[in-house]
Structure 1
Amino acid sequence: MRILHVTDRYSGGVGRAIDRITELVPEAEHHLLSTGIESTHGRGAYRGTADLPDGHVARVRAVRDVVDEVAPDVVHAHSSWAGLYTRVRRLPVPVVYQPHCYYFERPDLPGPVRRAVRSAERFLAANGSVVAAVSPREERLARSMGAHHVVRIPNAPSSAAVREAGARSGAGAGSRRIVTMVGRVVAQKDPRFYAATARAARAAGLGLTFRWLGDGDPDLVRELADAGVEVTGWLTADDVMRQMAASDVYLHSAAYEGFPISVLDAARVGLPAVVRDIPAFEGARLTAVGTPDEAAAAVHAAVEDPRQRLRMIASGDRLVGEMDETALHDGVVRAYATAAGGALVA
């Protein structure tokens, strides 16, 4: 089966998710039409690659041109804009649309914009594409958009690396106690929340070092730096895993998500995780917080309280047991079979 992946955000978590599919579904021939490469991690196992041009109209045309050239069995669209480019005009091949979190979930969207985005998703869902959801909540959202065929493709850790020395063991493991976040420095990941947590921890004298693995909006990067957060810039996937394993606790500050791979990566290396209390983590049994002060207290407890730390690590282990490589492989294969005319999965 030949697959054409399309995305305007081949960077950060979306890029890692697409690469992971190419690694874990080698029985398919993968092609990539993309833009937005911001990281230095290597491309996945693609038979061919092409760049999306500038401009929305040009990108819609480019999708059709590359489909004609590559002749894929399925087009796999990643994120909202790619969902538009591949579905606003019906293609001669089926489409699997993977939102990687719906944009209308962004909490600071004005009401009229949120309604317009929801309407666009409903309109595009009417063309019969298969929606790939990463969680039960995203499945419910997809069905509320009118999607008839929804298949679960859970994320999996971006590396098969096992924990090295079980990640750091908390207080006393090193001269600095390091809190880490991974991702693009953009509004979705809420770097201002992370910066506020760093300031709250410093004001309380908690002795924590805050680090952000990634890059992005220069103004937001500056705000992180002003709060004393170390921003590394883009790293290779292997370097990200090494930096996480050398940390003491992972804090995911995003305001809205599908389900972030970096949380699974933290669990894979044995790192306790603290997350925002957002719908993406419903049922995940992770330590969730609502404010920067709560986040500072939670990451401090993950370092200082051995029993709390072990409980948090156990929660991560359960999560990786449910969202792993086998589950991702089977979900992807089922989505492609559904799109290509196999037995429909409700």
Structure 2
Amino acid sequence: MRDGHREDRPIRILHISACVGGGVPRAITSIINNTQSFEHFVMASDADSYDCVDRAHLFDLSPNLAKALRGVRNLESRVRPDIIHAHSSVAGVIARIVSRSPVIYQPHAFAHTATSKSLAVRVPASIVERALSHRTAAYATLSPAETSAAQALGAATPTFELPNVSSVQAISPSARKPLGHEKTKFEVVMVGRVSSQKGAWFFAESAEAAASSKLPLDFTWLGDGDPALCDSLRAAGVRVTGWLDANQLAQRLQRADVYLHSAEYEGFPISILDAHASGLPIVAREIDAVRHLDLELVSTPTEGTAAAANLAVDPVARQERLERQAHALRHMNDVGQRDRVTEMYRTVGQNACFDARSNPGASRRR
């Protein structure tokens, strides 16, 4: 869309992400897979790792901020996107500073809402978000809590709450091997970047609590990240696998027994949906992103360990939990995501076209 006119072609979406590994690349891939009526471009820090090479045009985003700013500006001039979809905070800042196209900002968790962070971190993050809210065409959020956080930033900016979807193929309950009475150890897993945001300390203390109580649980973190935190996990007896591709992740989840989500704050974690698709009962730390759902919520590592042990060894409790979480997560599916993302892109595109017609001499974004 240029000055109210777009040539006869699909609407072009340019996704920007500075995230390496973790859930954000999987979230972008699922959006691309579910909205093939649009033409997608991805500029990302690890573009080669995206599993959508046949469905999107991929470009590298420099880790150097100045080069990233120039790169986004240059690519926007070449691609002429109708919409830029910026994922997570760094990309959100870059896109809203340099872009002339309307920007949809998907925070994948607002850092300023993390009560575990110090005010020295949260206040500057809040100031930046408020300042850039006036350069945001729409927010894409993943939970009621994140929607409220976006709306509290002050600008009258449209907000679209999107369902996340699993990044692994769902398996039928019969496809999982029964636990069996011969099993003496059960594997508890967490998926994602090893970071303070993902609650590495919570998972480490859960492993230590299980060991001190002599519970039959082994703990594994499926992912990688901060070297010091990885060492802390290992010191607590947690196995850290390193980054896994989609097939490896699916295989490891299918071999596990319980999923324990330890994050301190989130938008909404794809890994919970991946665990459910893999037939795992879910224990989740009680945070805003999941508080509205009927999941097994815990507040402390000791509570998490006890809940995981119960779901591992008690087949009745396990089956009840699987049924309740299936009901809680039923709206997070490909059709729901396709419809909501399509609505968001078409609405933002139409608003941009209207603005251009109303102000034919003005730039697309001010």
TM-score class, shorter-chain normalisation, is: over 0.9
Which range moved further: 318-327 or 64-73? 318-327
Question: Cα distance 1:171–1:193, how it changes in 2: closer, same or farther (>3 A)?
Answer: farther
2:12 matched to which residue of 1?
Answer: 2
Unaligned runs of 5+ in 1: none
Tell me the equivalent position of 1:190.
Answer: 199
- Equivalent position to 2:138, from 130, 140, 156: 130
The amino acid that maps onto 1:49 is L
Matched, 1:307 2:326: no
Aligned to 1:52: 61
Which of 160, 180, 198 is equivalent to 1:151? 160
- Measured in 2, the distance between the counterparts of 1:180 and 1:300 equals 12
Q: Name which of 97, 103, 120 aligns with 1:88.
A: 97
Q: Are the equivalent residues in 1 in contact too, given 2:163–2:337 (CA < 8 A)? A: yes
**Corresponding residue for 1:280?**
289
1:22/1:259 CA distance change after superposition, 3 Å: same
1:181 pairs, out of 186, 190, 193, with 190
Q: Does 1:245 align with 2:254?
A: yes
Cα separation, partners in 2 of 1:262 and 1:318, compared to 1, 3 Å: same
Matched, 1:116 2:136: no
How far apart are residue 245 of structure 1 and its match? Answer: 1.4
Cα distance, 1:322–1:28 mapped onto 2, change above 3 Å: same
Distance 1:207 1:163, change over 3 A: same
CA distance in 2, matches of 1:173, 1:332: 47
Structure 1 stretches (4+) deviating beyond 6 angstroms?
none
1:29 to 31, 39, 56: 39
- List gaps (5 residues or longer) in structure 2: 1-10, 354-366
Structure with higher Rg: it is 2
Per-residue CA deviation, residues 137-158 of structure 1 (Å, 9 max, x unaligned), is: 1111110012421011111111
Instruction: Please give the TM-score of this superposition, normalised by the length of structure 1.
Output: 0.93
Contact 1:273 1:286 in 2 (8 A): yes
Q: Over aligned residues, Cα RMSD in angstroms?
A: 2.1
Q: TM-score, normalised to structure 2's length? A: 0.88
After superposition, residues 218-297 of structure 1 pair within 5 angstroms as 218-297=227-306
| Shift, 1:239, TM fit | 1.6
8 Å Cα contact 1:197/1:292 also seen in 2: yes
- The corresponding residue for 1:13 is 23
Which of 214, 220, 224 in structure 2 is aligned with 1:205? 214
Alignment partners' CA distance in 1, 2:44 and 2:147: 25
Partners of 1:86 and 1:288 in 2: CA distance:
36
Distance 2:46 2:202 in 1: 25
CA distance in 2, matches of 1:162, 1:49: 30
Structure 1 171/181 Cα, relative in aligned 2: closer, same or farther at 3 Å? farther
Instruction: Flag the 1:259–1:129 CA change in 2: closer, same or farther, 3 A.
Output: same
In structure 1, give the amino acid aligned to 2:308.
V
Distance 1:51 1:76 in 2: 16
Q: 1:56 to 1:219 in 2, by over 3 A?
A: same
User: In percent, how many aligned pairs have the same letter?
Assistant: 37
* Cα drift, residue 159 of structure 1: 2.3
Residues of 2 paired with 1:252 and 1:27: CA distance?
34
Contact 1:5/1:77 (<8 A) preserved: yes
The CA deviation at 1:45 is: 4.0
Deviation, 1:175, is 4.9
Partner of 1:216: 225
In the TM superposition, what is the alpha-carbon distance from 1:176 to its structure 2 partner? 3.0
- Using the TM superposition, give the Cα deviation of residue 314 of structure 1 relative to its aligned residue in structure 2, in angstroms: 1.3
Equivalent-residue separation in structure 1 for 2:54 and 2:149 (angstroms): 31
Measured at CA, do residues 206 and 164 of structure 1 come closer, stay the same or move farther in structure 2, by a change above 3 Å? same
- Alpha-carbon shift at residue 61 of structure 1 (Å): 2.1
1:164-175 mapped onto 2 (5 Å cutoff): 165=174, 167-170=176-179, 172=181, 174-175=183-184
**Higher mean C-alpha deviation, range 264-273 or range 174-183:** 174-183
SS of residue paired to 2:237: coil
- Per-residue displacement from partner, 1:99-145 (whole Å, max 9, x unpaired)? 00111133332213211111111111112421001111111111001
Match of 1:70 among 69, 75, 79: 79
Distance 2:74 2:50 in 1: 28
Per-residue CA deviations over 1:68-95 (Å, capped at 9, x if unaligned) read 1111111110001111001124x33211
Q: 1:317 aligns with which of 308, 311, 326?
A: 326
Change (3 A) 1:134 1:173: farther
Shift in Å at residue 311 of structure 1? 2.1
Higher mean C-alpha displacement, 254-263 vs 334-343: 334-343
Q: Distance in 2 between matches of 1:243 and 1:173?
A: 20
- Aligned residue-pair number: 342
CA contact (8 A) 1:41 1:236 kept: no
Cα distance, 1:321 vs structure 2:
1.1
Structure 2: distance between partners of 1:141 and 1:320: 22
Q: Which residue of 1 aligns with 2:149?
A: 141
Aligned to 1:105: 113
